[in-house]
Structure 1
Amino acid sequence: MKKLTVIAFVLFIGLTSSIAQVSVSPGFRGGLNLSTLTNIDDNRTKTDFYIGGLVNIKFNKYFSLQPEITYSRQGDKGREYFGNGYNYRYVNYELNYLTLGAVAKFNIGGQGFHLLGGPSFDFKISDNYINSSPESFDLAIVGGVGYTLRNGLTFEARLKQGLVDIYGYDGVEYDDNGYRYNDLILNQVFQIGISYTFKVK
């Protein structure tokens, strides 16, 4: 009985210490989007921006969880044909999302440099497609690196890879001769940006 009491007491002290280390810091984030769509011939990268808010929940000096809400302007530059059908120009195809994400941040050696990764749930709020209607939802996975200064300013680079075909294909399909004719068209975004968190007393 005494052993169980001692074990319970040690576990209680450990849990209390862990909770005492948790800090919550709200903030904002923003930066540059370099976006494209996979498996489209002759398209180009579109340059735009993202902006949003975050809450950094720091459990200890090595690990934190960061829920985020972001407005992200994505899409790509695609060919628009005119005249005799041989002339074309590149235009911006817009896919604009409200994204809800949660990234886990792992601080190397408990210092400012960190690795991050997590899911992003993207809800389309607008697009400029005329002859088609892209899917209204995308699930993406995010990975990246960053560095946080002691004043709360963070510099980050992320790769965001969409997992849902924007035209609703279930997967790669084949015709009767075994030729592939539907490649998945996925969002792909490289992000470079900054964030800033406020200390809450």
Structure 2
Amino acid sequence: MKKSFLILVVAACATFTANAQKISFGVKGGLNIAKLTDYDNSKVRASIFAGGYANFAFNENLSVQPELLYSGQGNKYEVLNTDFTNKLGYINIPVMVQYRIVPEFYLEAGPQLGFLASAKTKSGKVTVDIKDDCKTVDFGLGFGVGYQFSNGFGIGGRYMFGLTKVSEDENLKRKNSVAQIGVFYTFNHK
């Protein structure tokens, strides 16, 4: 599945490049508020996301934006009055279709493929690697909004929800759920 998705992304980028009226590049980063679904006593975990993007604009209103992001995800939970934190680190590749309602404001939606880079559970001073217990590929969908200022800076918010299970254990139905708020900068904006 991940090879097929990567081939599709590369082919799509080649098509976007050939058909785009304007191509721009940028960087982005911000705050993740992450949680795992279907998890008793699950609480949100705050972390970061950061990376870069290419934006292929087809006209004034429509563009496609593939991104390459590091994303800290996971959750917090409590068992027998002991706090635990699941720290899941992903390299995510969202491909968002953006529609500009006005030149500055856009809505976006699209798929995301994530590759697990690290997975640890921490309680107090004890940290345990749980990467072997987690699936290495995550697939999800996202939607969001953004506002870009005339100087190239912008702010955005996005919600990504996982469609695949995080755990290798078939009895566990846990999936990623991540809200993001952040800033971005487009290098060659206007």
SS of the residue 2:134 aligns to? coil
How is 1:57-136 mapped onto 2 (pairs within 5 angstroms)?
57-79=56-78, 81=79, 86=80, 88-108=81-101, 110-129=102-121, 130=128, 133-136=133-136
Q: Which residue number corresponds to residue 175 of structure 1?
A: none
Q: Take 1:185 and 1:54, find their aligned partners in 2: how far apart are those partners?
A: 29
Amino acid at match of 2:120: N
CA displacement at 1:57 relative to structure 2: 1.2
CA displacement at 1:39 relative to structure 2: 0.8
SS of the residue 1:145 aligns to? strand
Q: Which protein has the larger Cα radius of gyration, Structure 1 or Structure 2? A: 1
Q: Which residue number corresponds to residue 137 of structure 2?
A: 137
Amino acid at match of 1:185: R
Q: Is the 8 A contact 1:103 1:117 kept in 2?
A: yes
Match of 2:182 among 190, 193, 200: 193
Unmatched 5+ stretches in structure 2: 1-17, 122-127
CA displacement at 1:102 relative to structure 2: 1.0
Q: Take 2:120 and 2:189, find their aligned partners in 1: how far apart are those partners?
A: 41
Q: Take 2:143 and 2:136, find their aligned partners in 1: how far apart are those partners?
A: 23
Q: Take 2:84 and 2:60, find their aligned partners in 1: how far apart are those partners?
A: 46
TM-score by length of 1: 0.76
Unmatched 5+ stretches in structure 1: 1-17, 171-181
The worse-fitting range, judged by mean Cα deviation, of 126-135 and 29-38 is 126-135
The 3 A distance-change label for structure 1 pair 146 and 200 is closer
Q: Take 1:146 and 1:161, find their aligned partners in 2: how far apart are those partners?
A: 18
Q: Which residue number corresponds to residue 153 of structure 1?
A: 153
Amino acid at match of 2:96: V
Q: Is the 8 A contact 1:146 1:155 kept in 2?
A: yes
Aligned pair count?
Answer: 165
Q: Take 1:104 and 1:168, find their aligned partners in 2: how far apart are those partners?
A: 31
The 3 A distance-change label for structure 1 pair 30 and 42 is same
Q: Is the 8 A contact 2:152 2:189 kept in 1?
A: no
Q: Is the 8 A contact 1:77 1:93 kept in 2?
A: yes
Amino acid at match of 2:77: G
SS of the residue 2:133 aligns to? coil
